[in-house]
Amino acid sequence: MSRTASDPSPARPVARGPLLLVALLAVCYAVAGLGAVASAGAGDLYTLLDRPDWAPPARLFAPVWSVLYATIAVSAWLVLRRPRPENRAAMVWWSLQLAFNLAWSPLFFAARQYGLAFADICLLLVALAATVVAFGRLNRPAALLLVPCLCWVAFAAALNLAIWIADTS
């Protein structure tokens, strides 16, 4: 049986090359940009917070996140280059972790709701871990690319918790 142009079969090819990578990078950096807008003046606020001694300097966050957003995009691209039904669930987790990531900056910096930000970053950790597991079943390098992000977010969660505790005492 031959396939027609109107056949919605999953075997139909999708854009898997450089354009898809550019689109995923655009999505990730749009999240970064929206987070930056929502956290205008974050550097000043960060220096005023009661931070633990192990807190990194404010200037470290932008370069780290710039690299992490690239790895988030490339990991999704590695998964999506090979179309298969399992990609859908994995990309739901990927999208959720981006949404939780996007929500954190306005909660922490704009609203100064450190407890809500901590709840959000915990949900981000769960979604990110689920993404790593789902990607690991589909493409091991894609999953490994997310491990530094998972570690950084775990560190950021600990920092968020320490700041929240200091703020409430």
For 70-77, what is the mean pLDDT? Answer: 98
* pLDDT tens figures, 85-142: 999 999 999 999 999 999 999 999 989 999 999 999 999 999 999 999 999 999 999 9
Q: For position 36, what pLDDT does the model report?
A: 85
Buried b (16+ CB within 10 A) or exposed e, 16-45: eeeebbeebbebbbebbeebeebbeebeee
Residue 11: the pLDDT is 46
More confident residue, 68 or 59: 68
